[in-house]
Amino acid sequence: MTDFLRRLGSWANFTDFMGRQIRVYVFFLVVLCVFRLIFVGLFHEYLSPAVTLADITLAFWIGLKLSCKSAGWLTLLSLTAAFTARIFKPQWERPVQRLTNAVSLLILSILFMARFPYYRQFHSSFNQLLFNTFNDDIYALLLSLVKEFYLPLRLAGAAVLAFFLYRMLNRWLDAQTIRMSTYFAWNKWFGRAFFLLTIYLGILLSTFGGSLQWQTAVDWENAGVTKDSFLNEAILDDLQAVYRGYTMNNRLEACNGLSFTPEQIQVLAAKLAGQPPVSSNLDDYLDKKSAGTRCKKATADFSDHWRKLCELAFA
């Protein structure tokens, strides 16, 4: 019990542990932003001619804020795995954290490689159509992915990319840095307060999407702030795009099973149209009549037409 409290309660251990989580957070955030930059750069032909540098800058700024949330998810996964290992098997802390980070980077790399053909096909980042594939013929789908989208080659590229990022992250985590407790030895209380404040701000940024309060929070539903559809899709990183598709798919499935009687539909249609429910034809409730004055139809005497016809014939 004493050893358990010592591992958790030591300020030096706490700063060392949380310092690595901060570096994990920064690394994932940078990776997501670089992926967004590469995507926009390679697919720049989809940009509208009316797009300005200000639009692109705004898209990257909002994308950075939104990716704070995605980086927070990945860091929380890494932190939870490492903290659990630290409690029960301290010697497993580093291997468990490295394995967790490797899986996260592999998923990010696969999504990044799949983003390009997906956008060419649907002109959208990942959406609810991604989850409709589970209702299709999986074998036929795999054949299509292999023949048309070179699935083995893309998976190999994703594996190489994930390995490269994994090596970079481990070097970043293993780099010798000055401990916070040593750096602020002249005033340990100030140093501890500053360190805790940094963690608190990181939690807020991850929770509210680059903002410090919910009123200005950024999420996938309000991130489309530019006038260009391609830039609005680029704002969403791969994790946010998958989350959007998951949310939209759940909303669509929640609509299944709704049951209304014809009488209820008739009453609702009449209420929305401001009419009495006297018809079972919905078209009657959709008809709109002009409120303007009626024009009197022009009429002509038959004799006038006969006289004009005779004049033309004998002229």
| 204/62: higher pLDDT | 62
290-294, long-range: CB within 8 Å, 24+ apart, which pairs? none
The least confident of 40-49, 70-79, 150-159, 172-181 is: 172-181
**pTM to 2 decimals?**
0.74
Q: Can you tell me the mean pLDDT for 49-57?
A: 92
Look at residue 313 in the predicted model and tell me its pLDDT: 45
**pLDDT of 162 above 90:** yes
Q: How confident is the model over 109-151, as pLDDT tens digits?
A: 999 999 998 898 888 888 887 777 656 556 565 666 666 666 7
Look at residue 281 in the predicted model and tell me its pLDDT: 75
- Per-residue three-class SS string for the chain: CHHHHHHHHCHHHHHHHHHHHHHHHHHHHHHHHHHHHHHHHHCHHHCCCCCCHHHHHHHHHHHHHHHHHHHHHHHHHHHHHHHHHHHHCHHHHHHHHHHHHHHHHHHHHHHHHHHHHHHHHHCCCCCCHHHHHHHCCHHHHHHHHHHHHCHHHHHHHHHHHHHHHHHHHHHHHHCCCCCHHHHCHHHHHHHHHHHHHHHHHHHHHHHCCCCCCHHHCCCCCCCCCCCCHHHHHHHCCHHHHHHHHHHHHHHHHHCCCCCCCHHHHHHHHHHHHCCCCCCCCHHHHHCCCCCCCCCCCCCCCHHHHHHHHHHHHHC
**pLDDT of 261 above 60:** yes
Q: Can you tell me the mean pLDDT for 245-271?
A: 75
Tell me the pLDDT band of 46, cut-offs 50, 70 and 90: very high
